[in-house]
Amino acid sequence: MGSIVVTGMGIISALGAGKESTLRMLMAGERAIAPIRHLQTRHKDLPVGEVPYSDEELRALIGFPDDRIITRTSLLGRVALREAIEDAHLTDTADGKRIAFISGNTVGGMEKSERYYHDFRTNEEHKEYIAMHDCGACTDLIAEEYAGKFSLITTISTACSSAANAIILGADLIRSGQVDMAVVGGTECLSAFHLNGFNTLMILDPQPCRPFDADRHGLNLGEGAAYLVIERAESACERNIKPLCVLSGYGNACDAYHQTATSPNGEGPFLAMRQALEQSGLQPSDIDYINAHGTGTGNNDECEGIAMMRIFGDTVPPVSSTKSYTGHTTSAAGGVESVISILALQHQFIPANIGFQNAIDKHNFRPVDHVLQPAGLQHVLTNSFGFGGNDSSCIFSIPENAAPVVPFPETSPCYIQSVAQISIQQPLCDDWFDMPVPHTQPYNESNDPDYKNHFPPMVARRLGKLLKRAIVTAKQALGETIPEAIITGTGLGCIENTEKFLVSMLENGEEYLQPTYFMQSTHNTISSQVALQLQCHGYNCTYSHRGTSFDSGLLDALTQIRHGRIRNALVGGQEEMTPAYFEMLGKIGYWRNGDISPDALRASDRQGSFSGSCSLNMLLTNQRDGNTLCAIHDMRMLYQPSDEEMRNILQEMLNRAGITLSDVDAVVMGISGDNDNDLVYKDFHQKFCPNIPIVWYKHLFGESFCASAFGLYAGAVCLHRGRIPNHLLYHPAPEIQNPHNILVFNHFKNKDQALTLLSK
């Protein structure tokens, strides 16, 4: 089992569309920071790294029809994905390969949402863009052209480290044998929301940025997209494709210090770089160039430099930040800068750190201030650090000097040890199992505990509702355990704070804005705040892929636990709703009016369900004791599988567990009352498990992007308590006694699907 190699890549940024344009500008030492041309904002004076194409020009570049709607984020992603696919010859040499598409993103369709927000509220004119607001919708739109090639799709949203974490997940899925190849990276467009958010933090430089300079004054925002195609070396050989380079190592850690600032000693960056080196088998002295995160802000550059000095001592290798060329492309940065690092390896040069003049006093190095060539590069380290202290590092090496990557041994079982929830049922308990709270309204707030019992007043006032729920459920699920990983699924993140910042921005003409709302709007705020409360420096990741957001996080945790990377993980599903966003989603059929009783939902005779805000955290471990709820035998995520593929995967899961379909006591499904949604579940049941009783749960917890977490929870509690009460049975029947095996099936829009097998 050999190395993981990069066999294709695609990019678009302020430097232009494609690798050739990017290389030409890098070699010439030409920055692309300039005044705003396309973004609609009052802050036209702020320099940015804007992609030099309008939406119309981007459509023409890829032949996207004028009569179809799409976001700019997705257009940028499509440009980069097409180049990566073509570069790796995936369309003609990858038949039969299981390929994942993993994209990092934070703003989703925000640039359209901010433009049409008042239309969303007052009329029907642009309502089709409502469904394109979330990050997962953008990923779906990007993947659409090559949908038949992908077997798994998900979205990572960890702010500025999103694309780097997509690379890490893709490599882990390959090493664990779940996929053969992965297309990984990220995309982000400029939005007034983002621009104003960073402006409220007072970290935007009114001049072109100068990272690592003693007189730096902040960052310039940018936009772009970039993807890598990664696979095993054997796979590339089978396809007769020459590798561009090797992904030698990678690491992710949480700084657990502050939502927007790095710790003075750079603990998170230090841990991420150290992990990447340890995994690669390289020594610090083997690294020939560091493509630094290097934002140009006072805090980041000083602390990143200190972290590098902790790793490399007095011999820090040549360093430069290429954000001085492109601006900070936020969620796309890890992809953009990985492509730049690989171009540097291929063409043996080191890009300049443009604008540098004077070294930072606390640093023992000076960044490279002009293009160096030839450079003699064999191993390049690239850093990507995000809000909340989400820090990731990757190492790329020339193929000739790369050590083989050891495949993951499958060594550990996985158990659900404990669960805590706050939902529209009774909070922080399992009372719903015997005495569920009925609901009569389509819009429902969560049933919150008294937070005065959990937070000091100053802390409670500062935290948004969803953050308080997540922290409380995390602490209850963990008890005394400090998790080695914190992994969250959230389709919308802290939508209340997002909405507050957006409305304030629109109503106040982009002035007098509160930075707190912006800081708490990023999706990975939830995981980072939990890590901060626990002082947990372990692996930290957030998935924002619509109705399979929680399932994506579960897959990540299981992969790492089962293959010995970690011993335990806190995995959560977090979602909230606001009256305004509820109203908007209602315009596109998400909610139903009138009767929402169980009998009415069973009819599945119309569009829509009812909402439920929720926070659920569960502790997964590789050890069991007397309190363990159940075992997780296996879990798979699928993208538009055929019936044959689904049947084969289900049989594989049963075989691995040593059981047959007749041993499965129930199948948990997210039947919600929505006719299109429920038709998929009923079709699955009829085709693959027609004689197995159906357990449903959305009639208790409501619909949300992370409702599937409650499906897993319901199955685990049934196994632990040794019965399935009749109010959980979709077809009215007496309760089932002593269940031993439960299958959980989830889908979103009949595209993304997930299967999980639980055992007593």
What's the CA dihedral at 720, 721, 725, 730 to 10 degrees?
0
Question: How far is 198 from 201, CA to CA, in rounded Å?
Answer: 5
Residue 59 parent element (H or E): helix 55-62
- Here the tokens at position 635 are 């879990």
- Here the tokens at position 245 are 């380079």
What's the CA dihedral at 30, 33, 37, 38 to 10 degrees?
100
- Annotated catalytic residue 160: yes
- Annotated catalytic residue 614: no
> What is the distance, to the nearest Å, from the Cα of residue 479 to the centroid of all Cα atoms in its chain?
26
Paired with 724 in beta bridges are 736
Strands (DSSP E) contained in 402-443 are: 415-422
Angle at 287 between CA 283 and CA 293, to 5 degrees: 120
DSSP state of 416: E
Given 160, 189, 414, 494, which residue is catalytic? 160
Say if strands 539-543 and 485-489 run parallel, antiparallel, or are unpaired: parallel
Amino acid at 587: K
Residues 76, 224 contacting (CB under 8 angstroms): yes
Say if strands 99-104 and 181-188 run parallel, antiparallel, or are unpaired: parallel
Q: Residues 589-594: contacts with CB within 8 Å, 24+ apart? A: 590/703, 591/442, 591/443, 592/442, 592/673, 592/674, 593/442
- Here the tokens at position 109 are 């369709």
Amino acid at 713: Y
Question: How far is 82 from 595, CA to CA, in rounded Å?
Answer: 47
Question: How far is 100 from 179, CA to CA, in rounded Å?
Answer: 7
Question: How far is 202 from 41, CA to CA, in rounded Å?
Answer: 17
- Annotated catalytic residue 293: yes
Given 133, 194, 328, 379, which residue is catalytic? 328
Residues 332, 297 contacting (CB under 8 angstroms): no
Residue 681 parent element (H or E): helix 675-688
277 contacts: CB under 8 Å, gap ≥ 6: 249, 251, 283, 284, 287, 311, 395
Residue 12 half-sphere exposure toward CB, CA atoms < 13 A: 28
> Cβ–Cβ contacts within 10 Å for residue 465, how many?
19
Say if strands 666-669 and 694-695 run parallel, antiparallel, or are unpaired: parallel
Question: How far is 164 from 13, CA to CA, in rounded Å?
Answer: 17
Question: How far is 151 from 645, CA to CA, in rounded Å?
Answer: 10
422 contacts: CB under 8 Å, gap ≥ 6: 428, 446, 447, 448, 449, 469, 472, 473, 614, 615, 616
Percentages (nearest 5) of helix, strand, coil residues in the chain: 40, 20, 40
Residues 639, 152 contacting (CB under 8 angstroms): yes
Over the range 524-543, which residues count as b (16 or more CB within 10 Å of their CB) and which as e? bbbbbbbbbbbebbbbbbbb
Question: Which residues carry out catalysis?
Answer: 160, 293, 328
